[in-house]
A and B are shown apart, each in its own frame.
Chain A
């Protein structure tokens, strides 16, 4: 009895009340099976371009294996602050407005912890990357989900955001192009969202990790819009554009007070991002453009093929504007997202991710990643076509 009593509060309340991710069981099942054709992977299938890997090895050869400044290598911050204005139309000072992090994941966690007082509300859109809501909760904030809809090409309707704002709303989190839907925000929507942020004194955190992977017109970051620079944290990294997921390196740019607040947490918890990864990041920003464009061209072609083939198979699928995911509707099959994914895996050995992994508003959809070879895509599409026909 005494024993069990002493164990009662071993886990912090706000952690033990976090729901265990239901998708983990499904993922474990997939990872334990052989001969699966997988459209379930949320990372590039390309190996990091050779010039970047070579730069990594060179960093090791020169013995660059130490800590770096907490903010990150000065050269990398300078390269970041050269690149960001070119792509996003907004300028930052490498000395005071930029911090190198262990991927966008760390940057996001730092931002939440640095900005949220217990009980403050954070608006984000759903379906979305799995970690947003839990990260907000772990920082003692209140996650408020705004659904994005298929009829809007999974873009975010500013009116829906406005309706969700309360006096207690502190932050708005944006991630476009989006994982899992591939939806994007056009200029007009960014402008409207910027106006809402200014009018309601919101800070915007924009996760730009898929920004290079857009297949239509590229728009500036929301940080570049009227009144936004001082209330926006621009988070970005190298994982998707340069196929560097395993390097775990990213960055945050924003006004000095916000970056400085993040820096306080970062210096006591992470110290700095890996120096080897940072050196690789320098190479990616200096010389990675062509490799990145080649990967983007390939993704674009795969997107065209997978969208056509899903529609041919009888699943309604819009052609997404960015990232490397399509988000077809599976309601016509009469199955729930999770049932669809399970049966497809069991009967045809094709892995897709149920839309509900990305929030409740993902019900009725599955995520198919086209960050896999054209052969695999075609094989998966043949099997999905059979699967859907057998259900009918």
Chain B
């Protein structure tokens, strides 16, 4: 019985999160209506997920060009010497402390850490790599790739798709 309740709750949380991932501004009333739940329940499940850090935060996906901003984004591949007790974790924690670092993953393959870094200019990113990242003990090498154009992020495409008009009414 308890197991079933747990499963049910997990399923409800999954459905709520799915809706929030598509649109974090959707509102608890609409979530409740779509999922045939009551608003109170949705509110308390979201609160629970925030407290247990299932939901870490809410982001907005922005096409910065439209704001006249041209921030510089770079993907940086980092090779790290693993350590006896902590593996890559100590270095990863250090790196994740820098606000410039937007995402940080440990990967399998030819290098270890992958960072996405944002700065206001090329110089700013270059300065971060040369004077911060490379100097961290355990960082063996870095390779920086500047992003030229964004096509898709978090499931959303940046280019406008041509509108195709269907019939307005059909049997």
Contacts and interface: CB of A to CB of B under 8 A. Distances in A.
A40 B170 CA distance: 6
A301 B34 contact: yes
Contact of B167 (A23, A31, A301): A31
B64 interface: no
A358 B168 CA distance: 18
B33 interface: yes
Contact of B169 (A38, A131, A302): A38
A130 interface: yes
A192 B50 CA distance: 51
A305 interface: yes
A351 B34 contact: no
Contacts of B169: 26-27, 30-31, 38, 40-41, 351, 353
A24 to B, nearest CB: 10
Contacts of A41: 166-170
Contacts of B34: 301-302, 304-305
B126 interface: no
Contact of B170 (A33, A36, A42, A358): A42
Contacts of B33: 304-305, 308
A45 interface: yes
Q: Which of B35, B164, B167, B169 has the most CB of A within 10 A?
A: B169
Nearest to A37: B168
A36 B168 contact: yes
A23 B168 contact: no
B124 to A, nearest CB: 37
Nearest to A31: B168
A200 to B, nearest CB: 30
Contact of B166 (A27, A45, A353): A45
A291 to B, nearest CB: 14
Interface residues of A, number: 27
A277 interface: no
B97 interface: no
A131 B36 CA distance: 35
A76 interface: no
Main SS class of interface, B: loop
Interface in B15-47: 30, 33-36
A302 B36 CA distance: 11
B171 interface: yes
Contacts of A305: 30, 33-34
A252 to B, nearest CB: 21
A179 B171 CA distance: 9
Contacts of A40: 168-170
A305 B19 CA distance: 14
A260 interface: no
B37 to A, nearest CB: 10
A186 interface: no
Interface in A279-303: 301-302
A214 to B, nearest CB: 16
A388 B64 CA distance: 44
Contacts of B35: 301, 304
A272 B169 CA distance: 29
Contacts of B167: 31, 41
A43 interface: yes
Given A304-B35, A304-B36, A38 B171 contact: no
A353 B171 CA distance: 8
Interface string B141-171: 0000000000000000000000010111111
Contacts of B170: 27, 40-43
Given A41-B166, A43-B166, A45-B166, A357 B36 contact: no
A225 interface: no
B151 to A, nearest CB: 14
Q: Which of B33, B35, B166, B171 has the most CB of A within 10 A?
A: B171
Interface in A343-392: 351, 353, 357-358
Contacts of B36: 304
A129 interface: yes
Contacts of A26: 169
A289 B167 CA distance: 27
A130 B168 contact: no
Contacts of A23: 171
A351 B170 CA distance: 11
Interface of B: 30, 33-36, 164, 166-171
10 pairs of A and B residues whose beta carbons are closest in the complex: A40-B169, A301-B34, A38-B168, A130-B171, A30-B169, A42-B170, A27-B169, A30-B168, A305-B33, A42-B171
15 contacts: A30-B169, A31-B168, A36-B168, A38-B169, A41-B170, A43-B166, A47-B164, A131-B171, A179-B171, A301-B35, A304-B35, A308-B33, A351-B168, A353-B169, A358-B171
Interface of A: 23, 26-27, 30-31, 33, 36, 38, 40-43, 45, 47, 129-131, 179, 301-302, 304-305, 308, 351, 353, 357-358
Given A42-B170, A43-B166, 4 more contacts: A31-B169, A42-B171, A130-B171, A308-B33
